[in-house]
Chains A and B, each alone.
Chain A
Amino acid sequence: MFSEIFRLELRQQLRSALFWLILLALAALAFGAACSDSIQIGGGIGNIHRNAPYVVITMLAAFSVIGIFLIPIFVSGAALRDFASNTAELMFATPVSRVGYLGGRFVAGWLVSVLILVGVAIGFWLGSFMPWVDAARLGPTPWVAYGWALGVIVLPNLFFVGALLFLLAIATRSMLGTYVGVLAFVVLVVVAGLLMGHGNISHQTAGALMNPFGGGVDLATRYWTASDRNTRVPELAGLILGNRALWLGISIMLLGATLALFRPDREGLRWFRRRRRITAPVEPATAAATPIVLPLVHLRSGFAARFRQFRKLAWFDTKSVLGGAAFLVMLLLGLANLTGALSFTGEIYGTPVYPVTHLMAGAMDSNYKWFLLIVLIFYAGELVWRERGAGLSEVVDAFPTPDWMPLLAKVAALAAVIVVFLAVGSLYCVGYQLLHGFTHLQPLLYLQFIGLSLLAFLLLGILALVFQVWSNNKFAGYALVIGWLILMFGLSQLHFNDNIYRFGSAPDTPYSDMNGFGSFWIGNLWFRAYWYCLATALLVVAGLYWVRGNVGGWRARGRIALQRFRAPARVALALSLSGFVAIGAFLWHNTHGLYRYTTHEVQQKLAARYEKDYRKYMGMVQPRITDVNVNVAIHPKRRAVDVTGHYTLVNKHDKPIDTLLVQLPTLDTRESSVDLDFPAHTATLADRRQGFYLYKLATPLAPGASMPFTFHEHVAYPGFANEPAGERLIHNGTFLSSDAFPHFCYDTDRELKDNNDRRKYGLGPARLLPRRSDLAARGDNLVSCDADWVHFQATLSTSADQIALAPGYLQKEWVQGGRRYFHYVQDSPILDFFSFQSARYQVARSKWHDVNLEVYYDAGNAWNVQRILKAMKLSLDYYTRNFGPFQFRQLRILEIPNYFGFA
């Protein structure tokens, strides 16, 4: 009996087009991972071979994770087949045994999933033989690793997921229930991943055991060197063995539970057997004795009536989503996932932090919002098909509502759903904050985050609706959305990141408590406006093709669309398209006119070019900077800065210097210029793109002699770029550094670092750090290649409400022409590295012996100022006792916006 069921099921599965489609798609993906740089799965980067054992194992493990979205199709499909095709009652009336029936179905479904992964392995294996693959990046075919990955990772993983989904499918007898199970399972994996990856070592063992995909592997190979990864296979022992045994045991228990719960009858398993049956319909014995006179009503079709109808429809659709099982399940899963994320938000590397609002928003971004994606895609289909699905379309289509109304109501309903979903998450976060005694709530900030997310998600919702309407087939609609998401993912993998052609995308809006959203929201909103214009046009066209009544076929729909394409639709389409083009031109002016948009490939080419052309000038004898006197005028409102700098350059070598090498900054903003002024010279090389210049001095600089060098630099960040640009020059919290000043050496930081990138551009292997015996390298300190100790002074100016800071002791502060000026002098020589800050700072002062202690902080972030002052004192105590005296008379700690991954 088992074998009969098994063979039947297997034959059905292998005959399905979906199986081959998925097999080929995933195998192609693995093939690409093995032979192209665009697809990165498994970590075959750097010195690790493309087909290293480690790569094979991680790659197959990754695919078995991707598989959890596909296994429901096979395993649950096998479990639900008889219910879906209404053959259940026929089947259950035969004397087939439980074990035979369930076992045959399950094993067949599981085997098919395994076959998919075998296809993946074959695809990867084939990919490594492609002629264009760099032979230097391949090792011998790791047969052992293939076997190990399939046996230890893939088979048990699929067995577990299969068993779980089989149980869910049998218990719920619904695909939706099964997909809910998939999601619950994903949450489990994510939480385990967080436990593993969060740096808190005490959770690692638990995390390794909890991850049903063989978590111990990551832990066991974490500290492997490239050579280990190229040759070794993890031992099947310790946590790996424990993890496998644990989940295999759980899988068997799940199968046992399936066997126990399976009921071969019509009803299936009911968790809540309905005790209170609906009372039999009451039929009043007699009809109303007197005829009812219907009151006279007015049918209205004015603007107010249309608005009321629209509101009613939108609300009706919204209610149906908000009350839907799938929505509630996603919401609960999202909140569960958010809870896991929030519990880690409370600390950074084990140090507790306040649960401030932007951290809450960050947790929602990474662990909550993507459930909304699923909600939108799913309910776009549900809503478009709602009337037809319920068999009500003929009724409502015959009502005198305008053709555009239902679609627009569904857009509104999705918008409302997005708002509700985000508002619930935000309230949940507020609850979390209050629970932790944190009462500095920022409702307005939550609203801003909700607003920005709404704009992003609604575009996807509209696209999903449009796809549903156009395709006029629910599953084709879903396939189109998912295909589109995959396309977008592929484009970003290939570094096609220009927002101008990526539907719905816009520059990020990085947030910091100091600077808020700064001016970054401007570009974001312009791009949204651009995409909403296109979305409107798409909606207009979808509205033309909206199926009303009994219309089949493209030709009939096209004819109706043409009939509907009258003045209002034409005007709407023309307006939205011209808006799209006009805003697009404006965006282009900003992101390509005001800024340089450089693709990843061009960046790499430039870096390679730089090294090939100019590395020969490395170590060229150059004068050293000894004195720096700068005048920095910061304009926070305009996001502009003007610098006038005076260097004194000294020839510290024993030969005269006749050529000056000048490296100028290359910035994304086009509003940046540097003018140089120094003794008579002629340019022998001027590369504006790379900022690399060589000047022949009319009079060579004699040994021991010095020369003045003056520069005027102007930088501004007008408008907006494709991605947030100029995070160092902002409204509140400007943080400039001397990196952007002229320097006199070849910049090794510009070189390509990754060996594979280097090989692609014909560069040799990356250079290691210089040897300790390398005297030339020892001639430079950590931060500069063209200076030792320098004398420094600076005059800063900024807007009247801000304080500007630079290294050195404040000599004078004055106001002139509505701007505040500060003059700083550092009386002892320092390294040639300075930063310049300007912000609306509050200052807290204290003293430690003779040293002035100062903390510059933002008024909204006064949380730990006293602690910082105390820590400064304790540190100075400790350091002076153990290391040596403190050489300065002041110690200042400054707050900067959290746009940076450091400090």
Chain B
Amino acid sequence: MLTIRDLSKTYPNGVRALSDVSLDIPNGMFGLLGPNGAGKSTLMRTIATLQDPDSGSIKLGDIDVLADKPATRRVLGYLPQEFGVYPKVTAEAMLDHFAVLKGVTRRGERRDLVDALLKQVNLWDVRKRKLGGFSGGMRQRFGIAQALIGDPKLVIVDEPTAGLDPEERQRFLNLLAEIGERVVVILSTHIVEDVTELCPRMAIIAEGRVRLAGEPRETIRALEGRVWRRAIDKNALPLYRDRMTVLSTRLAGGATLIHVLADAKPEDGFESVSPDLEDVYFGQLHHAAAAKKAA
């Protein structure tokens, strides 16, 4: 169980990345959904001991994450949003190196672990190949392999599926789900489907604030009967924006399809649709934007 209380962080340039973030994250996959620049990565890095907040606290079971970084690091597996590799080093050698840094200093133990990890992330056949020649998906799987060294209690993966093709993405998420049965896994993403498919629990974060936290199904249920769809003329979009809460627009077959949030049918031509997480997400972002405008 990871407990985050009142976490705030303002960067020197005035950007308020986190404000009063409080979350309770149990074992299992936890989805952190938010647009670019919402503060997801700041939150992830702070949990991963790489950054100090201005105020607030983080507890992982008995460990005070902010005060006892070494203890946190021993149970942490972290895959940052962007990470590079030494292009001339082989996957096996690099993973071996990381395992030593993690504390697996017995050679025999380490060899077995590296072998198993490479097999688990399906890189066994290319273990002798240099990392510079890896595709984005292979690299991402290598990243998850290093995050799994030493049986971590807390796994943090920051936007892991960006840049992966659908097949790779699926395989990657399956792998995460498997791990998530036993430990806390925090998955940050701006792709709504990632969360819908995998995460029993989730939070939406925007402008540094937690807009919503809960189970995806429940949050969707809250919108039941309130999401309406209509095909409109492209030029009429600003009019709709002014009058209604437009959640999303999509071009479909030459027409513009909009989703609108409303307690009752806004006007003729709209039809009710069953909401999905994307509607929830856009709804929250809309709120956040409105709140900012009001302030």
Contact = CB atoms under 8 A, between A and B. Distances in A.
User: Dominant SS at the A interface?
Assistant: loop
A316 interface: yes
A299 B51 contact: no
A284 B134 CA distance: 14
A858 B172 CA distance: 76
B150 A299 contact: yes
B85 A392 contact: yes
Contacts of A401: 101
Contacts of A320: 86
A611 to B, nearest CB: 65
B197 interface: no
B150 A398 contact: no
Contact of B86 (A287, A390, A551, A560): A390
Contact of A398 (B76, B112, B122, B137): B76
Q: Which of A296, A400, A553 has the most CB of B within 10 A?
A: A400
Nearest to A405: B101
A555 to B, nearest CB: 8
B74 interface: yes
A300 B100 CA distance: 9
A400 B102 contact: yes
A281 B164 CA distance: 14
A313 interface: yes
Given A282-B126, A291-B178, 6 more contacts: A281-B133, A281-B138, A283-B167, A287-B171, A292-B116, A392-B83
Contacts of A548: 50
B126 A301 contact: no
A770 interface: no
A298 B106 contact: yes
A278 B133 contact: yes
Nearest to A313: B101
A396 B50 CA distance: 10
Interface string B44-57: 01001111100000
A293 interface: yes
Interface in A266-320: 278, 281-284, 287-288, 291-301, 304-305, 308-309, 312-313, 316, 320
A402 B130 CA distance: 28
Interface in B72-94: 73-74, 76, 78-80, 82-86, 88
A552 interface: yes
Contacts of A883: none
A284 B84 contact: no
A295 B50 CA distance: 28
A292 B86 contact: no
A395 interface: yes
14 contacts: A282-B125, A284-B122, A291-B120, A297-B151, A298-B103, A309-B103, A312-B101, A392-B85, A394-B50, A395-B80, A396-B98, A399-B101, A399-B102, A400-B70
Interface residues of B, number: 55
B103 A301 contact: yes
Nearest to A296: B151
List the 6 closest pairs (A to B, CB-CB), nearest first.
A391-B84, A549-B50, A299-B103, A400-B73, A394-B80, A292-B120
B104 A299 contact: yes
Contacts of B11: 552
Contacts of B88: 323
Nearest to B48: A398
A550 interface: yes
Contacts of B76: 398, 400
Contacts of B171: 287
B229 interface: no
A397 B133 contact: no
B173 to A, nearest CB: 12
B274 interface: no
A742 to B, nearest CB: 71
Interface in A121-168: none
A283 B133 CA distance: 13
A320 B97 CA distance: 13
B135 interface: yes
Interface string B118-134: 01101001100000011
Nearest to A295: B112
A309 B101 contact: yes
B62 interface: no
